[in-house]
Amino acid sequence: MSDRDALTDNPFFVLGLDPDCHPMEVERAGNTLAGLLELGVKRGASYTTPLGAFERTSEGIRQAAAELNDPNERLFYELWATVAPSDARIVRSAGPSTSWWSNG
Amino acid sequence: MTTTYIGFDLGTTNSAAASFDGDTVTVMRSSQGEALTPSIVRLSSSGGVLVGQRARRYLETDPANTHTGFKRLMGTGTSIAFPAAGVTRTPEELSAEVLRLLCDGVEQQCGFRPTRAIVTVPALFEIPQNAATVEAARLAGLEQVELLQEPVASALAAGWTATDARGSWLVYDMGGGTFDVSLLESRHGLLRVVGHDGDNFLGGRDIDRAIVDWVVERQAAAGGPTLDRSNPDHEPAFRCLSLAAEEAKIELSRSETAVIANAWPIDIDGESLEIELEFDRKTLDALTLPMVDRSMDVVTRLLHDSGLRAEQIGRVVLVGGPTLMPVLRKRLAERLGAPIDDSMDPMTMVARGAALYAATAGLAASGGDAPRRGSAPDSATGDTSVTNAGCHFFLHYPPVTADLTPHVVGRLVDSDVSTARPTEVRLVRTDGGTEGEYAPLDEEGAFVASVQLEPHKANTFRLEARDSRGDSLTCEPSRITLVHGVTIGDPPLSRTVGVALANGGVREYFARGTPLPSRRTFVHRTVSSVSPVAAVGSVSGSALRIPLVQGEYASADLCRLVGAIEVDAKDLSGPLPADSTVEVTLELDRGGHLSASAFVSALSQTFKSVAHLMVPAATPEVLRSHHAELAGRLVSLREEAFRTGRRDSLKGLSALQARLDTVARDVEAAKGGDVDAAQRSRRVLLEVDSSVGELEDEQRWPEIEDDAVWTAAWASSQVASHGSPAEQKLLEQAIRSLEAARQAKSVTRLKRQQAVVQRLGSAAAQRDDSTWEHYFHNAAAESNEASDLPRASKLVAEGHQALESRDHKRLRTVVRELWGLLPRASSEPRKTHGSSVR
């Protein structure tokens, strides 16, 4: 996996979660995002990363949830999500990826 | 009406069905009144079909027209003969008969015939076997079916009732014909399959077979007629004895002695044979232990691959009839030391888990009473009181979840013009519990609402909406039910799936462990030119062949061919030059059912048919020849080991020789018409082939090691000169892994890491123009062997011009095109499964 992939496909970014999230949040985010995607709701359609915005796919969501359920894989992505440039988190907090769960 | 979910365990020896209504899992009794239905089918001379217990009694009296064990032949294309009726049936058709009987039982007890269900398969079933299982379900009248791996089903069933389900579990599933072992991890009610392994040809029937061999030996020693597995005329006798052996084996699980007797005389070459032999548990244990140890080798391999030690296993779940044998339990306890969970019936656990999983997957048993997850308007609990709904919503929620505060996602579909538009919704418990907060609808009419579940039960909520004035509006659906319980993540793929390439390699599409379902697309290039005209009158109509393989090996010939996209030349709309791009998409559903398509961009044509989706045929001649070749290679390895004094490798060689000796008996039985033995020997020979290959590599260790060291040095120099800082970091990591593999003297790991290092080096080197000049000179030197000589000559001339004008961009294009025309891209057809792409 390239450095770029570790950021653009990082499951924390795909699911819009913080690296210290609880395993149950992974389950919840996976289910909820899959729902938003299936119902064609715009706020679930994309996610942001330090390298820009990317389209969410149901396959990407499942893959991300599976990766974060594996403790070894999760560790790897935690590292990348944590060392991502600080502006990435600013982008994330301002962008749609963290607001998929909030209404209105 | 309550939503009901159905799961089927389609077993080798016995099958079962279970239902789940959101609260309780119930094992269904068949229409014959049994929880377990023997997977046996009989066809009478009039064409009448008997299935299950009714067919069982004919196994001895009319074995030629009564068949069992057909699950082991699923996907092989085998025809099973019923001479009395003068017809043949495929294993899929026979499995469909069993499923049909199970559906009858469900219909009698639930009041409806299921049209959607989960059917379980062994974790190591190959893609053709999965496809055959789906076909069997379709033939049985199931409109929608999903497959689930048996150990996952067992774990779900065990986890559902477990009070303390944390930590690592081992599910040891020895069925009638297959053995699966899975390692699972449970955290916060979420089950995760860490890994699984198994043997598709190891099960209770092998124990029966060992007992029959013992009987035959005793019989011959006593001067009776000699039974010969390679003689097709003796096959009915062997089937009759297998039945007697199975009965004695089951009896010895409870008592110390039993008698093996055939209920009816067996006719051997015109001589009647009656058997009545004393059989005791000690003898049974001695005959069984090699099979148990074989299964323990698989368990050990799985633990090793998962980086776990036996003492780290918190719980062992036993599934399948043979696990009731005391010797098996004792051996497992000795080798693993973990507590064995025998709180559930090992015979029905798979069906129970399948029913639970049907709920997780939102696969309600009959149409109209529940949605697929997130795909339809919901009426899950069937509140029929609402007749003039004001607001109509699409909802998405997990029907079963381990999350106590899951989200329900909804979107307004339409709103009655006579009522106001809803601005917010909430979900209220119907049992009078706490009311949820209102969630606002956004500009798209969507909302995400959180609900609070009570643990380990079905939780029903009423959907309430109100408009901007605060007036309540009726909703459709009005109620939904979410069940709190153990859930399992997407099942992982058990074996790597890819495309065999013309150079003998494999392009990996889905690595082992990929969560299913999954879909991937890669671009390939054709290695030779094809013309629709040239193909006229051709013997083989296949102009373009893309073989699909399954296995963890880098060489295509060691992987199993599980299907192929084949394009007939006459179907091409125009000529297809060599080096044309073909975009191949493979898609696997949750149960490992494969579909594939190939898009040929030059012709704007898409081809979808997957041909030969079958386990390859195993003829006795091919098996014997493969066996002889392996025996010869083993002799060479042994001689080399003695010559070089490498006695440490002799142990491994002896083990392989023992496997070859064992498989020789199956090869002989294949000659006698035992298709099951033929398939088993095919698999074992492939495994031995791979192991012999590894030992041959080990003997070449100094050479392989030198090559790896050279590659590392070359890559370091290229990356240092032309690589990015990130590539340098990755190379350092890769070289560390390569060094670890070198220290461990692991050829497979070393080669894998060498490939990574090589790729990094090549990526860096290709940024250097001089590399492409070097590539061009090499390709030009071989251009007289190109598949399209005029095109190659033109490209070489263009390349020289590009060199002179220092046009390196053009030079790169020329080199890539030349590579596509050169024969080095293709290997022997046998080693490539006839692939025409690279």
In this prediction, residues B166-191 reach a mean pLDDT of 83
Please report residues of B whose CB lies closer than 8 A to that of A22: 188
pLDDT of residue A67: 85
Measured between beta carbons, which residues in chain A are less than 8 angstroms from residue B515? 62-63, 65-66
Nearest chain A Cα to B399, which residue? Answer: A31
Higher-confidence residue of B766 and B419: namely B766
Nearest to B156 by CA among B5, B16, B351, B371: B351
CA distance linking residue B354 with residue B271, whole number of Å: 48
pLDDT(B531) > 80: no
Chain A residue with minimum CA distance to B492: A66
Q: pLDDT tier at B569 (50, 70, 90 boundaries)?
A: confident
**SS3 category, B320:** coil
Q: Is the pLDDT of residue B370 over 60?
A: no
Helix extents (H) in B224-271: 235-251
Q: Which residue of A has its CA nearest to B724?
A: A3
Task: Tell me the chain B residues in contact with residue A103 when contact means C-beta distances shorter than 8 Å.
Answer: 439-442, 447-449
Tokens 């985010």: give the residue: A29
The pLDDT value recorded for residue B761 is 85
In A, which residues are within 8 Å of B411 by CB distance?
39-41
At B408 the three-state DSSP class reads strand
Nearest to A39 among B396, B402, B518 (CB): B396
| DSSP 8-state class, residue B404 | S
Q: Are B501 and B827 in contact (CB under 8 A)?
A: no
State whether A27 and B487 contact (CB < 8 Å): yes
Rounded to an integer, what distance in angstroms lies between the CA atom of residue B735 and that of residue B713? Answer: 10
For residue A64, the chain B residue with the least C-alpha distance is B515
Of A23, A100, A101, the CB nearest to B187: A23
- C-alpha distance from B455 to closest chain A C-alpha (Å): 14
Element at B99 (helix H, strand E): helix B91-110
Minimal C-alpha gap between B811 and chain A (Å): 27
| Residue contact B190–A100, C-beta within 8 A | no
Residues of A in contact with B375 (CB under 8 A): 38
The answer to whether B121 and B130 have CB atoms below 8 angstroms apart is yes
Beta-carbon count within 10 A of B109 CB: 16
Q: How confident is the model at residue B417 (pLDDT cuts 50, 70, 90)?
A: low
Chain-chain contact of B188 with A38 (C-beta, under 8 angstroms): no
Taking CB atoms and an 8 Å limit, are A69 and B406 in contact across chains? no
- CA of A30 vs chain B CAs: smallest distance (Å): 10
Contacts of A79 in chain B (CB under 8 A): none
pLDDT above 70: residue B541: no
Q: Is the CB of A5 inside 8 Å of chain B's CB atoms? A: no
Reported as a single tens digit per residue, the pLDDT across B637-685 is 888 888 877 777 777 788 888 888 878 888 887 777 777 778 778 878 8
CA B269-B271-B273 angle, to 5 degrees, is: 115
Instruction: Please give the average per-residue pLDDT across A23-33, as a whole number.
Output: 92
What's chain B's average pLDDT? 83
Q: DSSP 3-state assignment of B327?
A: helix
Of A32-36, B229-233, B789-793, B803-807, the least confident: B229-233
Taking CB atoms within 8 Å and a gap of at least 24, the contacts of B744-753 are B745/B698, B745/B701, B747/B694, B747/B697, B747/B698, B747/B701, B747/B704, B748/B694, B750/B704, B750/B705, B750/B708, B751/B554, B751/B697, B751/B704, B751/B708, B752/B554, B753/B708
- The backbone torsions φ and ψ at residue B559, rounded to the nearest 5 degrees and listed phi first, read -85, 155
Q: With H, G, I as helix, E, B as strand and everything else as coil, classify residue B179.
A: strand
The answer to whether the CB of B19 falls within 8 A of the CB of B351 is no
What is the rounded distance in angstroms from the CA atom of residue B402 to the CA atom of residue B690?
Answer: 42
**A34 has a pLDDT exceeding 70:** yes
Among A28-37, B72-81, B719-728, the range with the most confident prediction by mean pLDDT is A28-37
Instruction: Please determine, for residue B750, whether its predicted confidence score (pLDDT) is greater than 80.
Output: yes
User: Percentage of chain B surpassing pLDDT 90?
Assistant: 23
Greatest mean pLDDT range, B24-38, B404-418, B569-583, B774-788: B24-38
SS3 of B550-590: the string is: ECCCCCHHHCEEEEEEEEEHHHCCCCECCCCEEEEEEEECC
Collapsing DSSP states into helix, strand and coil, what is residue B458? strand
pLDDT band at B387 (very low <50, low <70, confident <90, very high): very low
- pLDDT reading at B352 higher than 90: yes
Separation in Å, CA of B492 to nearest CA in chain A: 9
Mutate to test the interface with B, among A3, A25, A39 (most CBs of B within 10 A): A39
Residue B438: closest C-alpha in chain A: A103
- When pLDDT is averaged across residues B182-192 and rounded to a whole number, the result is 81
Q: Does A87 touch chain B (CB under 8 A)?
A: no
The reply to whether residue A36 touches residue B444, judged by beta carbons under 8 angstroms, is: no
Q: Are strands B37-38 and B116-121 parallel, antiparallel or unpaired?
A: unpaired
CB contact under 8 A, A62 and B394: no
Nearest-by-Cβ selection for A23 from B188, B447, B519:
B188
Q: Alpha-carbon dihedral of residues B696, B702, B703, B706, nearest 10 degrees? A: 140
**Which residues of A are less than 8 Å from B362 in CB distance?**
none
Per DSSP, the three-state class of B524 is strand
Residue B389 tokens, joined: 């709904």
Q: Which of B355, B352, B382, B356 is nearest to B369 (CA)?
A: B382
Tell me the Cα Rg of chain B: 31
Q: In chain A, which residues have their Cβ closer than 8 Å to the Cβ of B406?
A: 28, 31
* Cross-strand partners of B428: B435, B462
DSSP B226: P
CB of B55 closer than 8 Å to CB of B42: yes
Using alpha carbons, select from A50, A36, A40, A41 the residue that is nearest to residue A82: A50
One-letter amino acid for residue B607 of the chain = F
Q: Write down the domain spans for chain A.
A: 3-98
**pLDDT-above-70 percentage for chain B:** 92
Q: What is the pLDDT of residue B380?
A: 39
List the single best residue of A3, A38, A63, A72 to mutate versus B (max B Cβ within 10 A): A38
Mean pLDDT of B213-238: 84
What does the block give as tokens for B422? 């809803």
In this structure, what token pair is assigned to residue B498?
A: 């890819």
The pLDDT value given to residue B118: 94
The three-state secondary structure class of B609 is: coil
Q: Chain B contacts of A66, Cβ < 8 Å?
A: 489-490, 492, 515
Residues of B whose CB is below 8 A from A70:
192
Can you give the pLDDT at residue B823?
A: 60
Contact between B158 and B169 (Cβ < 8 Å) = yes
Q: Which of B305, B396, B426, B447 to mutate to test the interface with A (most CBs of A within 10 A)?
A: B396
Quick check: A24 pLDDT over 80?
yes
Structure confidence at residue B615 as a pLDDT band (50, 70, 90)? low
Looking at chain A, which residue has its C-alpha nearest residue B519? A59
Q: How high is the pLDDT of residue B365?
A: 82
Find out whether B576 and B604 touch, Cβ atoms under 8 Å.
no
pLDDT score, position B19: 95
Supply the ipTM of this predicted assembly: 0.85
Interstrand relation of B190-199 and B487-488 (parallel, antiparallel or unpaired): parallel
B698-707: Cβ within 8 A, 24+ apart: B698/B649, B698/B745, B698/B747, B699/B637, B699/B640, B699/B641, B699/B644, B699/B646, B699/B649, B701/B745, B701/B747, B704/B747, B704/B750, B704/B751, B705/B742, B705/B750, B707/B754
Length of chain A: 104
CA atoms in the 13 A half-sphere facing the CB of B581 = 9
pLDDT tens-digit profile of A54-103?
999 888 898 888 888 887 788 888 877 876 544 443 333 333 333 445 44
Are the beta carbons of A39 and B518 separated by less than 8 Å? no
Q: Do A38 and B515 touch (CB under 8 A)?
A: no
Instruction: Using pLDDT thresholds of 50, 70 and 90, give the confidence band for residue B116.
Output: very high
Neighboring chain B residues of A59 at a CB cutoff of 8 Å: 517-519
Cβ-contact B361, B451 below 8 angstroms: no
pLDDT at B540 over 50: no
Amino acid at B440: P
**Chain A nearest CA to B412, separation (Å):** 10
Instruction: Tell me the per-residue pLDDT of B473-483, one tens digit each, with 9 for 90 and over.
Output: 888 888 898 88
Is the CB of B490 less than 8 angstroms away from the CB of A24?
Answer: no
pLDDT in tens, B776-825: 888 888 787 777 788 888 999 999 999 999 898 899 888 888 877 776 54
Q: What mean pLDDT is predicted for residues B564-569?
A: 84
Residues 34-63 of chain A whose Cβ lies under 8 A from any Cβ of chain B: 34-36, 38-43, 59, 62-63
pLDDT the model gives residue B38:
94
A65 interface with B at CB cutoff 8 Å: yes
B383 against B225, higher pLDDT: B225
B374, pLDDT greater than 80: no
Residue that the structure tokens 């039993």 belong to: B258
